[in-house]
């Protein structure tokens, strides 16, 4: 691991903010490092307000989208809410459809089949709309590159409104409205919304025409917070406000579908981390293992017994997904080592029987072992389909663009993308991708990095500091949990490996023979020798609480030791 200490801001900046907020220098430093330099900015950070959300009509084409939906409602048209099969897509569909159904009955939902139709807008979906009398499709979390498909729909008399957050290509689809803050000609003040966030802006705009305020729409923010967490978008600006209030809804007034999941996992207070690692995988499992419509059914359920039945099915999908994930990861790792590819700059693996629903997870797992841009391919009809994942600091989307001559189609983000190609293109693509990455990646990016906010003395770790840090939440990209480094630590003789095969490291440390504090290092059991025998060591960690037999104490959550 590379430890990179963030530059310390100007002492004057830290001092001014510390004085204005009446906090110590360390807290002020952490805030300045997050771009917060004034009392007013700190107030917005610690006390997010729904009134600070941007006017949805600042988004290019929002007026056109609202006008077309209102025209459809006035004429009694059938409206189809279409979304991708992942968490962002299914929450978007649940959000927009359940909102419209509160005042208009002719609304249905459509999630494409991952295996039969693939990602995004499909011809089959358009044919379904046409055959069943839908004249307007609202596409969520997809559609920004569906040029030919939107034209095909137009020929059949079906209009499109696209709500997306992926990068547009050189041409936009010929839709009635294209809502995407990443459009070059869109001056919306925040361009990091997820698909469900764009869907929320749409209902905010529709609501404003109906005399509704933001307070009338808070109910829907549990869906938005879940999508923000699952899609790993920055938790800054508008996303921070949406995630903050969405978590409150999840914990205080969850929709019936969330209540059914929470009842199963028996957890009291959910953080954004719980949403990412507990709720999101279950919602995702439906589209991975069976069909994304199961997730929508759960999210729009109105009766608890019905929702609990859906949640039970989804729990089984998630169980099956975990087993497949383990099997395929083991096979993919073996393929890399058997082919002698450990020293390449990329991991590209393929087996035609691998389950398409878990290849994205497997790609992330491979990065845990071989830290480099990774693609996992499987057979999908007469094509090969892949999920791509990247390492911090390297834009895999741009790398795929360089390989466009070997690819049929692709889309995605800087760190995650999907693509399809013909079987005969696989080997040329694999070599081209390796060449592109080798020539463009900075070598240090192939070593995992821990970014450290500040150096700290153990004596400065107090319950008060932890209480303030907890108010930095919700955490995520752009606002990660503060990471500290302490130097010259010594174990007090309690260090040991714990857990299955002693994979984890449990310690009690001191510094300069001062106070003692416990620590746990998950998957750091192999570092036991570094801390025993009174040897001094440095550690990077976050500050946490440990609850044991009713007692709560401060604890270091250790990320690495040197």
Q: What is the pLDDT of residues 269-288, one digit of tens each?
A: 899 999 998 899 999 989 88
Residue 266, pLDDT score: 75
pLDDT digits over 10-32, tens only? 999 999 999 999 999 999 999 99
CATH architecture of 450-561: Beta Barrel (2.40)
Average pLDDT in the 242-266 region? 93
Distance CA 153, CA 130 (A): 8
Domain ranges in the chain are: 56-254+271-298, 339-446, 450-561
| Mean of per-residue pLDDT scores for the chain | 94
Task: Identify whether the C-beta of residue 525 lies closer than 8 Å to the C-beta of residue 504.
Answer: yes
In sequence order, the 6+-apart residues with CB closer than 8 A to the CB of 443 are none
Helix axes 237-252, 221-230, angle to 10 degrees: 120
pLDDT surpassing 90 at residue 412: no
Residue 93, pLDDT score: 97
The per-residue DSSP string of 233-281 comes to: ---SHHHHHHHHHHHHHHHHS--HHHHHHHHHHT-SS--HHHIIIIIHH
Residue 489, pLDDT score: 96
CATH architecture of 56-254+271-298: Alpha-Beta Complex (3.90)
Which band of pLDDT confidence, cut at 50, 70 and 90, is reported for residue 191?
very high
Segments in 504-549 forming alpha helices (H): 528-531
Largest CA distance in the chain: 80
Which band of pLDDT confidence, cut at 50, 70 and 90, is reported for residue 268?
confident
CATH top-level class of 339-446: alpha beta
Residue 357, pLDDT score: 87
Full-model pTM? 0.91
Distance CA 6, CA 306 (A): 50
The share of the chain scoring above pLDDT 70, in percent, equals 100
pLDDT digits over 309-329, tens only? 999 999 999 999 999 999 999
Which band of pLDDT confidence, cut at 50, 70 and 90, is reported for residue 430?
very high
CA angle 77, 307, 294 (to 5 degrees): 60
pLDDT surpassing 80 at residue 306: yes
pLDDT surpassing 90 at residue 167: no
Which of 324, 274, 317 lies closest to 293, judged by CA?
A: 317
Do the two domains 56-254+271-298 and 450-561 of this chain adopt the same fold? no
Which of 404, 412, 469, 456 lies closest to 433, judged by CA?
A: 404
């Amino acid at each position: 691991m590379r430890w990179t200490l963030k530059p310390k801001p100007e002492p004057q900046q830290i001092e001014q903010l510390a004085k204005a907020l009446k906090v110590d220098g360390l807290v002020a430093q952490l805030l300045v490092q997050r771009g917060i330099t004034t009392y007013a900015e700190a107030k917005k950070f610690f006390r997010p307000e729904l009134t600070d959300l941007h006017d949805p009509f600042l988004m290019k084409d929002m007026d056109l989208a609202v006008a077309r939906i209102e025209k459809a409602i006035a004429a009694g048209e059938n409206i189809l809410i279409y979304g991708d099969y992942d968490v962002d897509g299914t929450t978007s569909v649940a959000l927009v459809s359940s909102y419209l159904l509160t005042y208009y009955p002719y609304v249905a939902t459509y999630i494409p089949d991952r295996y039969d139709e693939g990602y995004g807008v499909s011809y089959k979906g358009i044919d379904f709309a046409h055959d069943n009398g839908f004249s307007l499709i609202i596409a969520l979390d997809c559609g920004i590159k569906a040029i030919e498909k939107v034209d095909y729909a137009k020929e059949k008399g079906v209009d499109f409104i696209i709500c997306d957050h992926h990068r547009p290509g050189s041409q936009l689809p010929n839709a009635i409205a294209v809502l995407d803050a990443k459009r070059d000609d869109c001056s919306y003040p925040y361009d990091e919304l997820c698909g469900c966030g764009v869907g929320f802006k749409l209902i905010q705009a529709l609501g404003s025409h109906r005399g509704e305020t933001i307070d009338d729409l808070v109910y829907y923010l549990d869906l938005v917070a879940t999508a923000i967490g699952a899609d790993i978008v920055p938790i800054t600006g508008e996303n921070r406000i949406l995630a903050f209030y969405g978590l409150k809804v999840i914990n205080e007034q969850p929709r019936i579908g969330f209540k059914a999941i929470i009842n199963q996992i028996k957890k009291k207070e959910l953080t954004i981390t719980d949403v990412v690692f507990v709720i999101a995988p279950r919602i995702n499992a439906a589209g991975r293992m069976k069909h994304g419509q199961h997730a929508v059914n759960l999210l729009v359920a109105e009766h608890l017994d019905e929702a609990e039945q859906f949640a039970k099915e989804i729990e089984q999908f998630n169980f099956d997904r975990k087993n497949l994930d383990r099997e395929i990861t083991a096979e993919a790792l073996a393929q890399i080592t058997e082919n002698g590819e450990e020293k390449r700059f990329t991991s590209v693996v393929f087996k035609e029987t691998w389950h398409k629903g878990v290849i994205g997870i497997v790609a992330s797992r491979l990065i845990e072992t071989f830290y480099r841009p990774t693609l996992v391919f499987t057979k999908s009809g007469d094509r090969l389909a892949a999920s791509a994942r990247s390492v911090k600091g390297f834009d895999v989307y741009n790398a795929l663009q360089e390989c466009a001559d070997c690819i049929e189609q692709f889309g995605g983000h800087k760190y995650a993308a999907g693509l399809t190609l013909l079987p005969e293109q696989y080997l040329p693509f694999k070599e081209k991708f390796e060449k592109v990455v080798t020539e463009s990646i900075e070598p240090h990016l192939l070593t995992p990095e821990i970014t450290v906010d500040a150096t700290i003395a153990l004596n400065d770790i107090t319950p008060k500091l932890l209480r303030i840090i907890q108010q930095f939440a919700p955490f995520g990209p752009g606002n990660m949990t503060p990471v500290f480094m302490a130097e010259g630590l010594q174990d007090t003789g309690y260090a040991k490996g714990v857990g299955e095969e002693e994979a984890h490291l449990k310690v009690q440390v001191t510094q300069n023979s001062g106070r003692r504090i416990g620590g746990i290092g998950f998957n750091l059991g192999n570092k036991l020798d570094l801390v025993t025998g009174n040897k001094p060591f440095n550690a990077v960690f976050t500050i946490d609480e440990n609850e044991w037999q009713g007692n709560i104490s401060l604890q270091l959550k250790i990320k690495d030791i040197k």
